[in-house]
Amino acid sequence: MSYITTQDGTRLFYKDWGTGRPVVFSHGWPLDADAWDAQMLFLVQKGFRVIAHDRRGHGRSDQPAQGNDMDTYADDLAAVLNALDIKEATLVGHSTGGGEVAHYIGRHGTARVAKAVLIGAVPPIMIKTEKNPGGLPLEVFDSIRAGVAGNRSQFYKELALPFFGFNRPGAKVSQGTIDTFWAQGMLGGVLAHYLCVKEFSEVDYTEDLKKMTIPTLILHGDDDQIVPIDDAGRLSVKIAPNATLKVIPGAPHGMCFTRADEINAELLAFLNA
């Protein structure tokens, strides 16, 4: 397996397929790079170079006690891009990974980046505050932490249902999709997953979005039960100066799995625009 080592000695697993224009993926919580299988398989066959890493504490990467914060996640993404000398990349982030993409640009600029895609992403900020009265209350995220600390195996099995919209009337439930969500979650470390909750809920990405001057596509399902579109995509498109919002009707948070053909088509069209 392929790894790069960060400045603090953490080894990050990554996949790097193909030789064309680079598309770099940042996964959501509590998953790993395998969450992008459908997109990476599709795009590598369309002639793109596709790259995805496991966030520290997730998947096959090391599980250090330090660095489980968004600043370090963004620096880790920079370490991957620098180690592989990636240029003119399209950065694609789902959920927490969308925050990572935005914060990377906020901290490191766009010298290596041509475009960005935020899918069901957490920016600008998820938690309810005086400045963000439409956000989710702290109790929501405290319950996630309690689930991770108490019995994360059971918690991930239950979380998969709203994540993929399998709790909706008439939904076609895929046990395999639930199983891969659980397996990816359990491969990561409980400490990193616990600490990451704060990073996807309480970090304010507003200033990062303002620096996203590159063409940016925001994809969001209007039935996202995890990151509600009104609190995220519909706000982010008003902040990022060169962004376009594409609403996927009826799509859940995990639409990269359940609506892969639609998401792949949107990505390909944006990449070729």
- Residues annotated catalytic, as ranges: 95, 224, 253
In the chain, beta strands by DSSP E: 2-5, 11-17, 22-26, 49-53, 89-94, 113-119, 216-221, 243-248
What's 35's DSSP letter? G
For the record, the structure tokens of 41 come out as: 């398989």
Q: At what angle do helices 175-187 and 138-163 cross, to 10 degrees?
A: 130
Q: Are the beta carbons of 41 and 263 closer than 8 angstroms? A: no
Beta strands 22-26 and 89-94 are parallel
Closest CA to 40 of 58, 22, 13: 22
Per-residue tokens: 53: 């890493």
172 three-class SS: coil
CA distances from 174 to 30, 59, 154, 167, 216 (A): 19, 22, 17, 12, 31
